[in-house]
Chains A and B, each alone.
Chain A
Amino acid sequence: MSALIEIEFRLNGISRRVSVPLQMSALEMLRDMMGQHGTKYGCGEGECGACTISVDHRTVNSCLKFAVDCDGRDIQTIEGLAATPFGETLNRAMVEHGAVQCGFCTPGIMMQAQQVLTDNPDASRAQIQRGLEGNLCRCTGYRKILDAIEAAAHPSPAVD
């Protein structure tokens, strides 16, 4: 069996120390060792975005990142995002705009939406679309997801 490496990092604001095998992905570590089930496996190859997390405030596909490379980093998952005020705004927008169907893509899309709007709080619809290029959704046809992210960027009082 392969050797374990001890790493330490912040996960959603809390310090964590774990021992992980060298070849383990950050996705496997989060899901299988740390109970972060909101981060999803969709392809394991960096092609679907379901596993998107934020590492030092940049989104990455956690399936492509080695767990050991999380050492010393600041990691945020959907569970962390959902607990922030912006996460709550985004959650409400996704719900009210009907952006969630099966919901399997949703955590990854929310992580990526946060990135897009952090990089550019005034992102245009086209910029949001491009920002989400790496996140696949099979259910919604994306339109309501885009509506939701636009609304979260520019909150307006009523939806209906």
Chain B
Amino acid sequence: MAPTPREEAFADSLIGRRVPKLDAPDKASGRTRYLHDINVPGQLHAKILRATEVHARIVSIDVEAARRVPGVHAVITAADVPWQRPIGITKDHMPLKADIVRSRRDEIAAVAADTVQAAQEALRLIRVAYEPLPIVTNSAQALGPGAPLLHGEDLRVPGRNGALEVVHKACSDNVSMAYEYGHGDVSQGERESVVVVEDVFWLHYVTHCCMGVSGVIAEFDASGSLLLYSNTQVPFLHKREFAELLGIDPGRIRIIQPPIGGGFGSKLDIYPFEPIAIFLAKITRRPVKLLFTREEEFIASPTRQPVLLKLRSGCDREGRLTFRAVDTIHDNGAYTSWGATTPFVMMQTISSLYRVPHCHYRTRAVYTNNPYAGSFRGYGNLQATFAVEAHMDKLADALGMDALEFRLLNAQDPGESTPQGMHFRSCGFKECLGTAAERSDYAAKRRRNLEHWNDGNPVKRGIGMASMLHVGGGAKMYPSDGCGTIIKLDDFAKVTLITGASEIGQGSETVLALLVCEELGLPIDSVTVVNNDTAITPWDVGVHASRTTFIGGNSAIGAARKAKRKILEIAAPKAGRTPDDLDLRGGHIVLRATGERIQEIGKFLRSLHFSEKAELVMTTYYYEPPSVHLDRNYKGNVSAAYAWATQVAEVEVDTDTGIVRLLKITAAHDVGRVLNRLGIEGQIEGGIVMGQGYALSEDLLVEDGVIRNPNFRDYKLVTAPEIPEMDVSFIETMDGEGPQGAKGVGEAPAICIAAAVANAIYNATGTRIYALPFTPEKVYRALRGSNMPPKWPADAA
């Protein structure tokens, strides 16, 4: 049968195809120049001296011997930069510490030298005398009476006019940030319940482990403007912050983002090494390059937010959720970064993943002398989902109800507006539940596994399910959540796509090019993407909140449609048609209805350019999503779309050794629409395996404020032989606001795995473990009842 005109028209559509990443050929031949590979003529190498105490007063720092090392250009301490200003979410963190160190990562001095070796030799010669202070490395204790106060005094720095000003107020209870959210009346929910469960969960420390270590190159020009080569995920926000830090106009800061060796949220905040490199560049008047070692990367980059979480939930006789009450203590570490803001995401899961009529949520982020937590793919959602999905199983089991039925009964539907103000224009949650359950044979296997609890075989099988809700259309946290695009078409129909959206390995460059090609009817190799220089690219809020495909995508489509419109409007009269009769396909201007070719686009562009009117096709577009800021009560439709997923984990538990093997993940993701199949599969598989590490092997051991395993030998990332079988289904709900119907997906796949694995271990063994990760030792002890489950501190109210 001959294809219909419509089929013909879309035969060359790229949507849903497997489009290889544009940057992959260079990366797979060793050509790509990462930050690490860039060397600027005349550059110096910088190294940082960190504290050897967890909490102490600095009595003296002697840098004289260090300054005499040949090749050393500068050795600086806080005394050399009296004009330095604090960084961080609450501005509680001075890049170089003047009088007190509060954690083992604290920066005390820095060296710039001709070689890394000279810089290291100089570091060894710096003498620091400390007077130890009492330490507190347990967040519950830090809340207790008499705990040492970490930021008990006002932080003052010289203001612009020289007088001291308070930049961070004294904190008298170690609570750096607090959140409280509620809807309905939890005590009424409690009264309406036939089953109530309450548990305490501990979500541990893990860290990003980007394969490329952190680094920066800073360089001032003769007029005092700053050029940074940086791996930041939020270049435009950081431009402002660096400007504030230096007291210069943001317009004088340019950030170039070379290709990055992994981000995952780790590069959303400014860390002390960046201002320190800038200070050194300013003082030495030379370009300064600073790269971490892997050990430093473990010690001085952020962690995922560790959380102690108490959850109380109930349901009625029919299996409807009645209420949910959550209290958490977030270990903030010594300074405040994005980890302390994870409640924004956590409360969404608590209030709105399932329908809950009565809900209360509270978090206190508490200062301790531990490493401090930042943002990490999933942003609090792994932690919240872990607890919520444990209770979904427990409540269903207590009622004697099928666990899938129980979830379906409480799951959200499209069109719903939740009490927290989230509006689900598209929602494939129930399809996710159904698809993942069916493809994994969840119900039957879950029943069958129970029969083996007491069969004498030490190796047990288990199956467990968990689901997630996450922002999929940006998150309006800043005044704008938008992204700008500039498109220019040259005389040969080659497109330059200039976008604010950064590529961090996730494939945004390719998906944006694909969306533009879809509009302009051009092949993917006709696009050059420019996305890494604030002097060129239009503003974007940054790579976070799974927003880039959605926001950057809508922005790119907007600019491409303007270009298309312009071409069709000029071409139409010449062809004796209206613009709406025409379309762009296969490199040609064509008749929309029949696909008949009228003119090659390149030829059209040349004739336009070299005509009397002499015009080029260049367009701009700024997309701002139709979302709102949360109000003072944390209510509001903060994202333009929401993503959903269900993941089912199948495990094998060796009860003799405690070893848990993850056999299979069956995942169903509501992604709106698949744009680049290759890219989305890669995001999901990578996320699943990252979730596997969180569940089973990764454990940043922090003892008395000291990281005990700052290396890949003792910090166990998942390796190639350990990955599970993965069965991934896409639920295409065609979101009305999404680019071609798509929603964000970057964070989603990592979120459910630990929760699903916990439920699977229970299904295998009848033992529920409330603390991560499920290492052999922990599982072995738990199976023998000798594990200490996490406890809610008595004096933390």
**Chain A residues within 8 Å of B, Cβ to Cβ:** 31, 36-45, 47-48, 50, 77-79, 82, 87, 90-91, 94-107, 110, 126, 128-130, 132-146, 159-160
Contact = CB atoms under 8 A, between A and B. Distances in A.
Contact of B685 (A105, A138, A143, A160): A143
A140 B18 contact: no
Interface in B229-281: 259-264
Interface string B684-703: 01111110000000000000
B188 interface: no
Q: Which of B208, B688, B720 has the most CB of A within 10 A?
A: B720
User: Do most interface residues of chain B lie in helix, strand or loop, or is the interface mixed?
Assistant: loop
Contacts of B719: 132-134, 136, 142
Interface in B1-57: 17-18, 20-21, 23-25, 27-34, 36-37
A139 B262 contact: yes
A38 B29 contact: yes
Given A142-B720, A160-B17, A102 B30 contact: no
A41 B24 contact: no
13 contacts: A47-B712, A48-B294, A95-B25, A98-B20, A102-B260, A106-B27, A138-B211, A139-B682, A139-B686, A141-B687, A141-B688, A143-B726, A144-B685
A80 B32 CA distance: 15
Interface in B487-526: 504-507
A100 B28 contact: yes
Given A129-B721, A130-B721, A136-B712, A141 B685 contact: yes
B713 interface: yes
A101 B726 contact: no
Nearest to B717: A136
A99 B213 CA distance: 21
Contacts of A146: 720
Contacts of B718: 142
Contacts, number: 179
A91 B711 CA distance: 30
A95 B505 contact: no
Given A95-B21, A137-B211, A140-B682, A104 B720 contact: no
Nearest to B260: A102
A106 B32 CA distance: 11
A79 B31 CA distance: 8
Given A42-B213, A95-B20, 17 more contacts: A40-B212, A45-B713, A47-B712, A79-B30, A91-B25, A91-B28, A91-B29, A103-B23, A103-B24, A103-B259, A105-B211, A129-B723, A139-B211, A139-B682, A141-B688, A141-B689, A141-B690
Nearest to A130: B721
B723 A142 contact: yes
Contact of A103 (B32, B213, B681, B723): B32
Contact of A102 (B20, B213, B505): B505
Contacts of B260: 102
Contacts of A138: 208-211, 262, 264, 686, 690, 717
